[in-house]
Structure formats: structure tokens, C-alpha cells
Chains A and B, each alone.
Chain A
């Protein structure tokens, strides 16, 4: 099966900044894929190169097997992009904006088009705003319209660049339900977000980008089972050896240790006992994607 997205050796430089450095990435059809990385890592640049908004200096990109340069018409038809920047055209209403966007993709006026637009509006809770001018919408609502615009031509591959930034909890959940449904119907989803718990719960595979390079690429499950920094919380009868490397005492006699290997726990506990302190309670935090992310980013420093 053709890959939904194939990126080969893509580099892009802006002046002195190497925004992308020989990126290789293949995303299969039907995947729910997360693209993570700190600010300035190159996520948006990679998406822009894929969408033809930015020309890569070298390398090749294809959407559903269509090269984004040589076969740009087909490639763009297969791709829906929700841009990161909150942009809008102040001249039009929400419905006009969506009809216009459908028209740009060559979708003829008619019942099928209008029914799909109504469905998108409904799913994004925008129906009541359909005839409002874009200028009058709140930031979160403008974001929803951006999502709607990306879906209007029913693209098999949907890329969302921080779709939930500035969106309230209610809509965030509704948005994810809608996106998940599209994924279940066969759409490939690529997502960037700084809310790592979102990525953890939605994405089956994740790439982490730093300074234009992919520094981790694996299934979410494998990433989570990587040795990462974990947390040990211990409650003692309020005494603790000073040189044990715990942070300051939390409320009620809880102490926090960070560790990577379970063997570290044993030595710590042994020393607490040796110091004559009594352990009253103990918890081991399960690592989440945030821990793994921070660890991966830290490793890249050395």
C-alpha cells in the first residue's frame, strides 16, 4: 500500500537556521500520528513543505504517492491542513468561507457539498455561527473554522498543526471525537501539539523532532515503556537523610525522588531504613509521554 506520507531526506534552511535537517519519515494510511517537538523544532516547516507552502532545499515529499512538486495538484487534493496561525479572511461569513474553500478544490456547488459543509459545521459546533462574519468570531471559534476548512474537500490525509491551542475543554473533546471518527473511517491523521497527554491518548505512533532532526520515532506504547525518568514518592515519619537527593519536603511528610532504574529505588529505601527513618507510605509514578519527551530532548543536549 502507498504510504500516506513519504518524506525522504528533506532539508530546509532559513538564513542561518537549519529548520529541517535530512528528515526521513513514512506515515502509513490510516495511522494516527503525532509530531512532537519543542518550539522551533521544525514541525510547522515540515508540514509547510508537505503542503507546498515552503519549498524544501533538498529531498522529496509525497502525499499518497503524489510528489508535492511534480504532481502538486493531486498531492494537494489528498491533503487537508489546519495551519498553526490563527488566520482568516475578514471579508466573509463562516459559510461563505467554507463554500469558497470547497470551490478552490474544484468541488461543484450542490446538495452534496452543502450537506457535507452542514455536517462539518454541526460536528464542530459552528452551526449557530454559520452566517456570522469571520471578524466577529472568538479565537477558539476561528480555530474551529480553520479545522472545518481543512476538511471541506474530504482529504484522505489530514494534518493538524496545534488544532487545540486556545480551544476550550468542551470543544477539545468534541474535536477529538470528530477527528477520531474520521480516523476510524480511514483518514490518516497527523497531529502536532504541545499537550502531550493529548498525543499520548490519541496517537498510535509518534515522531519527536528537535532542531530539525527526528530524534525519536516509535509507537506510543514503545515510547512509554522506554526507561524514562520516573517518580518515587515516599512518606516518612518526617525524617530523611540529608544527602539522599530528594527535593524539598512536600506537605504531610512526602518526599519525591526521580529515578531511571528500579535498582535505584532499593538503594534509596535501604539508606532511609539505615538512617533509622520509617516509611509510612510509598508511590511509584507511571511515566507519561511528558517524562519520555523530556528525557529524549535532554539526551540530545549531550
Chain B
């Protein structure tokens, strides 16, 4: 990869870092609020997999924040640049579709990890956590954020207006992340909703990620990882194909 990739990655990271209050601090605060409210309401009543509810909740919230922010990063970067027209600055140079893809996805992963780490650090103050299998934690964090970074690119290329992007976010990303077992174990769901959850790829990302902390989960981490990896390949393949065809960028 040439200098174009490194610069584009640097620019994408700088872009969110310069407005860190909005792109990092705000999502950390949101996650903390979820945490306070749900743990206040449910802590005394529920244990999941024999884990106190607050502890159970933390990895789910961390992963959800990572996924949402990885998506937000690439999608908002692309749609802003397209709407403002400044996208030409990265279309005129000899940046290949692969470099273009890699820089945007990697920046999204970095934003996801920064936000995720922020949520984790903030919650560690009042929730003791275990880190049973850190490699799984890392593996799911990277694949999950990578998938969402890629999906964000697709949405950012497809949407012509900000409200179309918001629709993509509200009708696809939000339901998928909320209905994925962030706030509960799907074992507690009625059978029908359990079956539905097994079709939600985000469920596997959160379940696998949680496995890394507690060593227990609803489904096997290997299965979850296979699903996550499969999703990453599919999303990456589609994104690269769109970029190579110049979909909406070089029409």
C-alpha cells in the first residue's frame, strides 16, 4: 500500500478525533446512562449465567457502542464528503479501491475500539469484571467493528441524503444491535424470539464478545466467530465491488 493509504487513514482518524467530544465522549456517556438505569432497575432481580446482571450488561454495552460507532464513522464520513463535494479530494489521487476500503474500515475500527475502551474503563469503576479469554475479546471486537465499518461505507455510498442514512441506521442497525442480547440472554426469550435471534448476526458478535469476559455464552464462541468472519467477508466483498465499480462515487 502506498502513501495514499496511510494519509487517508490518518485523515479519517483525525476527522473523528478532532471532534472527540461528539464522537467519543458522547457515546461513552450514553452507554453509562444505559448502564446506570438498567442496573438500577434490574440488578437485584436477575442473574444471567450466574453472573450479576450489571457485569453481564457491560460487555454487551461495550460491543454495542463499538458497533454503532464503527458504523457511524465510515457512513458519516462518506456521506458528508459526498454532500459537501469534498469527496473529490480523495477521488482525484491515485488511491486504489482496496486502499480506500482499508483506510475507511480501519479508521472505523479504531473509533470503535476507542469508544469501546472508553465505555469499559468508565464502567470498571463500579463493576468488577473478569477477562477470561482476552483473545476472544479482541477477535470479536475487531471483526464486529470491521463489519460495521464496511456496512457504514455501503450506507454512506448508497444514501444521497442524511435522512436516508438515518433510516438505514434506525431501521437496520439499531434493531439488529438492540435485539441481539445486549440487555438479556436469549435463553430467557420465548422460543420464537430465540429462533429469530439466531438469524441476527449481531447476536453472535455480542455473544462471542461476552464469552471472552466470562467464559460462558449462549452459543459456542467458534460458531459465533465463524458467523462474524463470514459476515466480514461478505460485507467486505460487497463494499470492494461497489468501490471498484465506482458506485455513486464515479458515476
| B7 and A103 within 8 A (CB) | yes
User: Which of chain A's residues have a CB closer than 8 A to the CB of B40?
Assistant: none
Question: Top 9 nearest A-B pairs by Cβ distance?
Answer: A103-B7, A104-B93, A87-B85, A106-B3, A73-B94, A76-B94, A89-B86, A106-B2, A87-B86
**Separation in Å of the B45 CB from the closest CB of chain A?**
47
**Given A55-B246, A104-B7, A108-B3: A89 in contact with B96 (beta carbons within 8 A):** no
Is B163 an interface residue when CB atoms closer than 8 A count as contact?
no
Chain B residues within CB distance 8 Å of chain A: 2-4, 6-8, 10-11, 14-15, 18-19, 81, 84-86, 88-96, 246, 250-251
Is A100 an interface residue when CB atoms closer than 8 A count as contact?
yes
Is A184 an interface residue when CB atoms closer than 8 A count as contact?
no
Name the residue in A54, A85, A87 with the highest tally of chain B Cβ atoms < 10 Å from its Cβ.
Answer: A87
| B88 and A54 within 8 A (CB) | no
Is A257 an interface residue when CB atoms closer than 8 A count as contact?
no
| A72 and B86 within 8 A (CB) | no
Task: Tell me, in angstroms, the Cα distance from A107 to B94 when the chains sit together.
Answer: 12
Which residue of the partner chain, among B84, B94, B251, contacts A55 with CB atoms under 8 Å? B251
| B250 and A104 within 8 A (CB) | no
Which bracket fits the contact residues of A?
20 to 34
**Given A52-B250, A103-B3, A105-B4: A83 in contact with B94 (beta carbons within 8 A):** no
Residue of B nearest to A71 (CB): B94
Task: Tell me, in angstroms, the Cα distance from A231 to B105 when the chains sit together.
Answer: 63
User: Which of chain A's residues have a CB closer than 8 A to the CB of B14?
Assistant: 91-92
Which residue of the partner chain, among B10, B11, B18, B88, contacts A83 with CB atoms under 8 Å? B88
**Given A52-B250, A91-B15, A100-B11: A106 in contact with B86 (beta carbons within 8 A):** no
* 5 pairs, A vs B, C-beta closer than 8 Å: A55-B251, A87-B84, A88-B84, A91-B14, A103-B3
Chain A residues within CB distance 8 Å of chain B: 51-55, 72-74, 76-77, 79, 81, 83, 85, 87-92, 100-101, 103-108, 149, 153
User: Which of chain B's residues have a CB closer than 8 A to the CB of A101?
Assistant: 89, 93
Task: Tell me, in angstroms, the Cα distance from A105 to B7 when the chains sit together.
Answer: 9
Task: Tell me, in angstroms, the Cα distance from A103 to B3 when the chains sit together.
Answer: 6
User: Which of chain B's residues have a CB closer than 8 A to the CB of A55?
Assistant: 246, 250-251
Task: Tell me, in angstroms, the Cα distance from A92 to B85 when the chains sit together.
Answer: 15
| B8 and A104 within 8 A (CB) | yes
Residue of A nearest to B87 (CB): A87
Residue of A nearest to B3 (CB): A106
Task: Tell me, in angstroms, the Cα distance from A53 to B86 when the chains sit together.
Answer: 12
Task: Tell me, in angstroms, the Cα distance from A90 to B81 when the chains sit together.
Answer: 10
